[in-house]
Amino acid sequence: MLSAVHYKLSRVKLLHLLNELKNNSINVVSLYVPAGSPRVKAEDMMKTILDLNIVPGELSSYMGDSPTGAILFWGPGCRYLVIPPFPMNEARTSNTCDIEPLQAVLRQPLLFGLVLIRLGAYAIGVVKGQNLCSSKVGTGLVHARHRQGGSSAHRFERHREKQIETYFTRVCGHVREQLEPIEKQLEFLFYGGTRDTLLQFRKQCQFMRQFDERTLDILLNIRQPRQSGLQEAIQEAWSSRIIQWKE
């Protein structure tokens, strides 16, 4: 009986794992399912190199509809599914441990943006490969919610909403300063912080709409939007989700 273990690997650790798989693989097959492929396509591709009766039933559901695609390495003692950090669009099957396409993705010098926002703090970065090229970090005054009722609470909430609007306007200006010079070259965009805060910000900052099709549907879990948070975000942006099946 196989059981699935879920975890993440950094870019460096995944490259190390791929080399280990390549060096120690015996009778390992490989499957690359393109980004956004439906589950039925993943199943059809698996049928060409695997007996579906011997693989976990949930495997195709993990592979299907992934916004970045999925890579499967399957054989005796080697049962890994990799959800890469950036989209892979090539459909590929092999009767060997084919790691080269995934290695290429992990080594490409992609240009992407980071927009990390929480109420009261923000960090914006432009990244080439693993290097932070430019950044802007800062803070803004936004009071916590008023916990008491009454008319004073309503006045306080209106004042707080104005603070948030002013804060978002300032952050939007700084995002524009960072991203506008490279808006045509920018390949991907990541958001990080609090989901509700980011939804409010994106609604107010019209400049962000042009990046919607390049925005990856991955919310970076950065608790402190500051310079060190940008470095954490780069590591997380390059991390891959791993599902490993063990006996």
Instruction: Let me know whether 208 and 123 are in one domain.
Output: yes
- Pairing type for strands 70-75 and 29-33 reads antiparallel
Instruction: Let me know whether 86 and 123 are in one domain.
Output: no
Instruction: Round the average pLDDT of the chain to a whole number and report it.
Output: 90
Instruction: Let me know whether 115 and 7 are in one domain.
Output: no
d(CA 55, CA 77): 13
Residue 242 is assigned to a structural domain of this protein: no
Q: Which amino acid is at 197?
A: T
Instruction: Let me know whether 200 and 133 are in one domain.
Output: yes
DSSP-assigned letter for residue 146:
P
In tens, the pLDDT along 171-217 reads 999 999 999 999 999 999 999 998 999 999 999 999 999 999 999 98
Instruction: Let me know whether 94 and 150 are in one domain.
Output: no
* Residue 21, token pair as written in the block: 């798989």
Q: What is the pTM of this model?
A: 0.88
In tens, the pLDDT along 50-107 reads 888 888 888 888 888 788 999 999 998 889 999 999 999 999 999 999 999 999 999 9
Residue 225 is assigned to a structural domain of this protein: yes
Looking at residue 60, its pLDDT comes to 85
Instruction: Let me know whether 115 and 76 are in one domain.
Output: no
* Residue 214, token pair as written in the block: 């390049």
Instruction: Let me know whether 12 and 47 are in one domain.
Output: yes
Does 168 score more than 80 pLDDT?
yes
Does an H or E element contain 111, and which? strand 111-118
Does 154 score more than 70 pLDDT?
no
Looking at residue 99, its pLDDT comes to 96
Instruction: Let me know whether 82 and 152 are in one domain.
Output: no
224: CATH:
3.30.420.60
34: CATH:
3.30.960.10
Query: What percent of the chain shows pLDDT beyond 70?
Result: 92
Instruction: Let me know whether 62 and 130 are in one domain.
Output: no
